[in-house]
Structure 1
Amino acid sequence: MKERFLQLERWTSGIAMVLACLMLAVASGLAVFQIVTRFVLEQPAEWSEVLIRFSLIWMVFLGIPMAFRQGAMVSVDALYRAMPDKLKRILDALVALAALILMIIVLWWGYDYAVRGSVQTMAGLEVLSMFWAYIAMPVGAVFAIIGIIANYLDPRRMELETAQ
């Protein structure tokens, strides 16, 4: 059961990371396009700024699950190092519980915010509803919840490896 869940997490985290990287590439490409249209052609494209913001929001919320999975999101290094080995697993459980509670709140309120914002349109890109920007919060929270549980089941301490 544990291995199946970890396999699911690897798959979902991989998808989330690929999409986050894609959103970064989209934002970068649109930024270059915006610079060219604004400063070279002197005809700014208003919609590109909106899409840059949109893609950066998605990039952040799709990148968060990998940070949780690697154990780099909620950093309690000093406390973890100072604790006896018997208490480290309790600290892991408390950190995972706090992160899960936070992500459940983000999931709940993010979905509510997306639904309420569905009547709004994006300034400069009126054909798209704000729902598509706001839904990044609950989507990212679902991926993050999977990453938090996976990190509790199979801890990775990536931030400890790079600490001096």
Structure 2
Amino acid sequence: MKSAFLRLDHWTNSLSMAVACLMLVIASALGVFQIVTRFVLEQPAEWSEILIRVSLIWMVFMGIPTAFRQGAMVSVDVLYRWSPPKMRRLLDWMVCLAALTLIAVIVWWGWDYAKRGGVQSMAGLESVSMFWAYVAMPVGGLFSIIGIIGNLIDPQRQELETAQ
């Protein structure tokens, strides 16, 4: 059971990081495109601005699960270093529960926000609903939940181990 969850965790973490990297590439390419069209060709592409924003939103929310999985998002390094091993495990549980609570709020309200924002259209892309921008919150949150639980089951503290 534990190894099956860790395989799922590895797969979802890899997928979310691949999507985050792809969104960074898209935002960068569209930024260069926008600079060329605006300042070289003097014909700005209005649609590129909103797509840069949306891709950056997706990049952040799909990158957060990797930060949670590596234990880098909610960091209590000093307290962790000063604590005995039993207290460290208690800290792991406390951080996990706090992070899950926060992510549950983001998933809940993010989904509500995405549904309500579905009636809006993107500026410059009138045929595309803002739902696709806002749904990044609950999707990233669901991936984060897996990463948080994965970090509780199999903690990874590379920055702690290399700093000593």
Q: TM exceeds 0.5? A: yes
In structure 1, distance between residues paired with 2:160 and 2:39: 45
Look up the match of 2:36.
36
Please give the alpha-carbon distance, in whole angstroms, between the structure 2 residues aligned to 1:79 and 1:26.
39
Paired residues for 1:16-31 under 5 Å: 16-31=16-31
Q: 1:50 to 1:162 in 2, by over 3 A?
A: farther
Residues 128-143 of structure 1: matches in 2 within 5 Å?
Answer: 128-143=128-143
Kindly provide the amino acid, as one letter, of the partner of residue 47 in structure 1. Answer: W
Task: Name the stretch that deviates more: 148-157 or 123-132.
Answer: 123-132
1:71 aligns with 2:71: yes
* 1:72/1:158 contact within 8 Å kept: no
**Equivalent position of 1:50 in the other structure:** 50
2:89 corresponding residue in structure 1: 89
Q: TM-score, normalised by structure 2?
A: 0.97
Cα distance between partner residues in 2 of 1:158 and 1:42: 48
Deviation at 1:161, TM superposition (A): 3.9
How far, CA to CA, are the matches of 2:52 and 2:141 in structure 1?
21
Task: Give the C-alpha shift of residue 84 in structure 1.
Answer: 1.3
**Aligned position for 1:127:** 127
After TM superposition, give the deviation of residue 158 of structure 1 in Å: 2.7
Checking the alignment, whether the CA contact within 8 Å between 1:65 and 1:147 is kept in structure 2 is: yes
Structure 2 CA distance for partners of 1:44 and 1:163, relative to 1, 3 Å: farther
- Counterpart CA distance in 2 for 1:163 and 1:119 is 50
Alpha-carbon shift at residue 159 of structure 1 (Å): 3.0
CA contact under 8 A between 1:71 and 1:159: conserved in structure 2?
no
Amino acid in structure 2 at the alignment position of 1:54: V
Determine the structure 2 residue equivalent to 1:112.
112
Please give the alpha-carbon distance, in whole angstroms, between the structure 1 residues aligned to 2:154 and 2:99.
Answer: 16
Amino acid at match of 1:133: A
Confirm or deny: 8 A CA contact 1:37 1:44 kept in the other structure: yes
Q: CA deviation at 1:86?
A: 1.5
In 2, distance between residues paired with 1:138 and 1:8?
Answer: 18
109-118 vs 82-91, greater mean Cα deviation: 82-91
Alignment deviations for residues 105-162 of structure 1 (CA, whole Å, 9 cap, x no partner):
1000000000000001111211111100000000000000000000000000133245
Structure-2 separation of matches of 1:126 and 1:157:
45
In structure 1, what residue type is equivalent to 2:62? L
Q: Which runs of 5+ in 2 are unaligned?
A: none
State the shift of 1:163 in Å. 4.2
Task: Tell me the matched-pair count.
Answer: 164
TM-score by length of 1: 0.97
SS of 1:119 mapped into structure 2: coil
- The amino acid that maps onto 1:82 is W
Give the aligned CA root-mean-square deviation in angstroms. Answer: 1.0
**Residue 5 (structure 2) aligns with:** 5
Kindly report structure 1 stretches of 4+ aligned residues shifted beyond 2 Å.
161-164
